[in-house]
Amino acid sequence: MKEDAILLAGIEDKINQCLEYYITTHTAFLDMRQRTLAEGICRRYPGLKYEFYGGYEEAERTVAVFLPDYAVLLEENPLALLRIHQDSRRALSHRDYLGALTGLGIKREIIGDILVREDGADIVVIKDMAEFLLYHFDKAGRASLRGEIADAADIIVPEGSFEEKRDTVASLRLDNLISSGFSLSRGRALEAISAGLVYVNGLQVEKADRQMKEGDRLVLRGKGKILLKAIGGVTRKDRISIVIKKYL
């Protein structure tokens, strides 16, 4: 795809700038599919120091940061946190905030995750745009907004609603976990993995036999996210007991 070619060329430019001038560089925000493409480019450069960072551990949208040997990510943090407070009695949604931002002419690649609270939201943004947004992002629909800039490390991650499911699987293969976690037949799980719809810890995975471990986060695009919370013992029927946390 033309868009992917442009994206990858831009990533290589950032890598080469880092290596040639010995400075920290970074991309715009990447979704999970784009992050997988970026990871493929990074692996072509032996010894390259890089991280994917979105302001908090479970961020779905991240920037790729390329670092010289001397640099530390949080000292060279390219992100800022826009903490928004809203005065409406009606709680605003993710769509409300994103629509208002894009209505200002802000490209989606400038905006990371939007974590909505009842009284506002924490929005991760490229640091260079934080001041502009602070002064111009003052409305979403009919609601008035006021904001402040905070360090991205101070983000408030709301407790999402979830349910826990206990099950047994024949093995810890990815297809078995997708089948169990999303209540799909194994055939449908295999189809989803082959179609590139499955992500493990933020990276696209197309190998159904990949072994999962405790703490792995699995996303099935269009269906949601699960966490392999615990791996138990083996049952009498030689199956493995698991606990899955499914986000609602």
In whole angstroms, what is the distance from residue 229 CA to residue 96 CA? 32
Give me the amino acid identity at 170: A
Q: Taking residues 182-210, what's their average pLDDT?
A: 95
Q: How far is CA 187 from CA 117, 194, 211, 218, 231, in A?
A: 38, 11, 18, 18, 23
92-124 pLDDT per residue, tens: 999 999 999 999 999 999 999 999 988 899 999
Tokens of 62: 């991240």
Q: Taking residues 191-216, what's their average pLDDT?
A: 95
In whole angstroms, what is the distance from residue 142 CA to residue 115 CA? 20
Contact (Cβ atoms closer than 8 angstroms) between residue 155 and residue 225:
no
User: 46 and 70 in one domain?
Assistant: yes
Q: Compute the half-sphere exposure of residue 234: CA atoms within 13 Å on the CB side of its CA.
A: 6
State how many domains the chain has: 3
Residue 73 clears pLDDT 80, i.e. is over it: no
User: 58 and 12 in one domain?
Assistant: yes
Could you give the 3-state DSSP secondary structure of residue 79?
Answer: strand
Boundary residue ending a domain (126, 154, 182): 154
Mean pLDDT score of the chain: 93
For 117, the domain range is: 79-154
CATH of the domain at 177: 3.10.290.10
User: 40 and 91 in one domain?
Assistant: no
Residue 136 clears pLDDT 90, i.e. is over it: yes
Q: Report how far Cα 230 is from the mean position of its chain's Cα atoms.
A: 22
Q: Compute the half-sphere exposure of residue 215: CA atoms within 13 Å on the CB side of its CA.
A: 2
Could you give the 3-state DSSP secondary structure of residue 143?
Answer: strand
The band of 58, judged by pLDDT with boundaries at 50, 70 and 90, is confident
Work out whether the CA dihedral 204, 209, 214, 218 comes out positive or negative.
positive
Residue 62 clears pLDDT 80, i.e. is over it: yes
